[in-house]
């Protein structure tokens, strides 16, 4: 098929990608949106198979192409079907890395086939795109693999060396790699240098992500998501292929927006998340001092409180995911709702380890999405709430964020302390990711239930059923 026809089909695919993403703006149309994206991909791949450039590949060429697709499909389907929904963050990170790898390998193939010196040398525009693809793609691969290992809690990670003076090392690694990319791009003669650049970028990806962890993970994942799109777009420039440029930049934009939303939800700049440190400031109060008036409670007392409540708000955090408490939480909420009590969930944007982590977990437990309220919405009704049940959340409900001299000053929080009674289910008084004590735990209207999240919720439910 001639280039013009192929490009027209690519245009249809691009439109379908955009409509598909648009479908994701509402849970009702989201399934259809995702299918549209898949159809767009199928169209783009099918028309590429009959592209003139590929038609000359011969029987062996087509055999290789179909073999590759069959292997990839097998592995992809196996991963997607066997994974438990709780492990979704690490799977997304893994897929992300593979996408980045595919981008720089394609750029590498282009270099190998077209690297000539003299007048036939790669044009300067394409040379820059090639360097960009190698750099971004490789950073995406190792960055995503580190993120994958961190999210999965892989034991190998503990053996990995931590980098001392990581800010300095990162700056040097970043500088050297950028310089290398620039030299490659300007010299237009790649030879083995492309792979040296890839190797350096692989190292850079590792350096940049190995020192980031915990609550900063959502930002890293969103950023890597953006990189994988940009790498695809860069490869699009290498091959002068519009559908790669369009789809890649859509994903790039998507990741950037998510990164921005995540940073805003922590009131931190992207540079601060990537290179800065978070920890107690000089003004941080001593934990013993803050926790003088902590009142511990038991499941029976919490059950009594819930029994007479009219409105209950559940605020989940990463601890709920760790304790796998989502199904128990659903049973408790259903029991309360059957008694006519109003139950809603307050979801902080950075709760969990990836954007929207809590929503997926709760959806997996068949909790209707209408009950999941965003932070701003739930905060308006917090004062009319009888019991706020905080499960495994810490920094996202820390009222210290309202103090100007706090380590998390200005971070928007869920106003759990404004409910009439706040019950915090947590295993201990240990600090969250920010490393500072939480005055909510010793507030006059707060009760601490020290237990594993899942067990505590089950105990409360059985106490309710008996009473």
Partner 1 sequence: MFYALHLLAASTAANPLVLGLTIFALAIFVGIEIITKIPPTLHTPLMSGSNAISGITLVGAVLASGEYPGFAKLLGFIAIILATINVVGGFLVTHRMLEKFKSR
Distance of closest approach, residue 113 Cβ to partner 1, in angstroms: 4
How many helical (H) and strand (E) elements, i.e. helices and strands, does the chain have?
19, 6
123 secondary structure, DSSP code:
P
- Candidate segments 23-31, 171-179, 269-277, 297-305, binder of partner 1 by CB under 8 A: 23-31
Active-site hit among 300, 331, 338, 395 = 395
Q: How far apart are CA 280 and CA 393, in angstroms?
A: 18
Is residue 17 a contact point for partner 1 (CB under 8 A)?
yes
Other CB atoms closer than 10 Å to residue 174's CB: what's the count? 14
How many residues touch partner 1 under the rule CB under 8 A: the total is 118
Is residue 219 a contact point for partner 1 (CB under 8 A)?
no
Residue in 145, 198, 231, 393 binding partner 1, rule: CB under 8 A: 231
Is residue 102 a contact point for partner 1 (CB under 8 A)?
yes
Residue (42 or 160) nearer to partner 1, CB: 42
Is residue 269 a contact point for partner 1 (CB under 8 A)?
no
Distance of closest approach, residue 22 Cβ to partner 1, in angstroms: 5
Binding track, positions 130-169, relative to partner 1; x by CB under 8 A: ----------------------------------------
- Measure the CA angle with vertex 335, ends 332 and 340; round to 5°: 125
Is residue 193 a contact point for partner 1 (CB under 8 A)?
no
Residue (102 or 273) nearer to partner 1, CB: 102
Q: Which two tokens stand for residue 140?
A: 């995406």
Residue in 135, 212, 258, 464 binding partner 1, rule: CB under 8 A: 258
Binding track, positions 320-349, relative to partner 1; x by CB under 8 A: ---------------------------x-x
Contact 99, 129 (CB under 8 A): no
Is residue 294 a contact point for partner 1 (CB under 8 A)?
no
Residues within window 57-96 making contact with partner 1, judged by CB under 8 A? 57, 61-62, 64-65, 67-69, 71-73, 75-77, 79-81, 83, 85, 88-89, 91-92, 95-96
Tokens 């040097």 sit on residue: 172
Q: Which conformational region is residue 447 in: left (phi greater than 0), alpha (psi within -120 to 50 degrees), or beta?
A: beta
Helix, strand, coil % (nearest 5) of the chain? 70, 5, 25
Helix ranges, 24-161 (H):
27-49, 52-55, 58-82, 88-114, 124-152, 156-159
Is residue 368 a contact point for partner 1 (CB under 8 A)?
yes
Binding track, positions 30-49, relative to partner 1; x by CB under 8 A: xx-xxx-xx--x--xx--xx
Residue (197 or 448) nearer to partner 1, CB: 197
Is 459 assigned a catalytic role? no
Q: How far apart are CA 224 and CA 92, in angstroms?
A: 10
Residues within window 104-123 making contact with partner 1, judged by CB under 8 A? 105-106, 108-110, 112-113, 123
Over the range 133-147, which residues count as b (16 or more CB within 10 Å of their CB) and which as e? Answer: bbbbbbbbbbbbbbb
Q: What are phi and psi of 386, to 5 degrees?
A: -75, -50
Contact 172, 111 (CB under 8 A): no
Annotated catalytic residues are 395
């Amino acid at each position: 098929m001639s280039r013009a026809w192929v490009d027209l089909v690519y245009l249809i695919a691009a439109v379908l990608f955009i409509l598909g993403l648009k479908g994701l703006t509402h849970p009702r149309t989201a399934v259809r949106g995702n299918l549209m994206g898949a159809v767009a991909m199928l169209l783009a791949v099918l028309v590429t198979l009959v592209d003139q450039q590929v038609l000359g590949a011969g029987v062996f060429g087509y055999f290789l192409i179909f073999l590759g697709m069959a292997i990839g499909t097998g592995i992809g389907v196996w991963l997607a079907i066997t994974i438990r929904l709780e492990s979704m963050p690490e799977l997304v990170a893994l897929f992300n890395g593979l996408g980045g790898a595919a981008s720089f390998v394609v750029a590498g193939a282009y270099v190998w086939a077209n690297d000539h010196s003299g007048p036939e040398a790669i044009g300067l525009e394409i040379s820059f795109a090639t360097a960009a693809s190698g750099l971004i793609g490789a950073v995406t691969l190792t960055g995503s693999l580190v993120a994958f290992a961190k999210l999965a809690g892989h034991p190998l990670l503990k053996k990995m060396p931590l980098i001392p003076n990581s800010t300095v090392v990162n700056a040097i690694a970043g500088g050297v790699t950028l310089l290398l990319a620039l030299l490659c791009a300007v010299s237009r003669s790649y030879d083995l240098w492309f792979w040296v650049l890839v190797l350096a970028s692989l190292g850079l990806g590792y350096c940049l992500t190995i020192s980031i962890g915990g609550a900063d993970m959502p930002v890293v994942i969103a950023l890597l998501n953006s990189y994988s799109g940009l790498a695809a777009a860069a490869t699009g420039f290498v091959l002068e292929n519009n559908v790669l440029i369009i789809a890649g930049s859509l994903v790039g934009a998507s990741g950037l927006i998510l990164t921005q939303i995540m940073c805003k939800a922590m009131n931190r700049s992207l540079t601060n998340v990537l290179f800065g440190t978070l920890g107690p400031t000089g003004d941080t109060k001593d934990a013993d001092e803050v926790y003088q008036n902590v009142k511990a409670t038991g499941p029976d007392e919490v059950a009594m409180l819930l029994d007479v409540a009219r409105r209950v708000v559940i605020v989940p955090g990463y601890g709920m995911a760790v304790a796998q408490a989502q199904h128990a939480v659903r049973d408790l909420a259903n029991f309360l709702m059957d008694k006519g009590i109003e139950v809603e969930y307050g979801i902080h944007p950075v709760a969990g380890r990836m954007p929207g982590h809590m929503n997926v977990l709760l959806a997996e437990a068949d909790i209707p999405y209408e009950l999941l309220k965003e932070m701003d919405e739930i905060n308006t009704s917090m004062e009319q709430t009888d019991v706020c049940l905080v499960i495994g959340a810490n920094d996202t409900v820390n009222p210290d964020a309202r103090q100007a001299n706090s380590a998390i000053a200005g971070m928007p929080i869920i106003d759990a302390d404004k409910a009439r009674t706040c019950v915090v289910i947590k295993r201990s008084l240990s600090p969250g990711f920010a490393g500072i004590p939480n005055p909510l735990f010793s507030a006059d209207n707060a009760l601490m239930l020290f237990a594993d999240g899942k067990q505590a919720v089950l105990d409360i439910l059985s106490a309710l059923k008996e009473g």
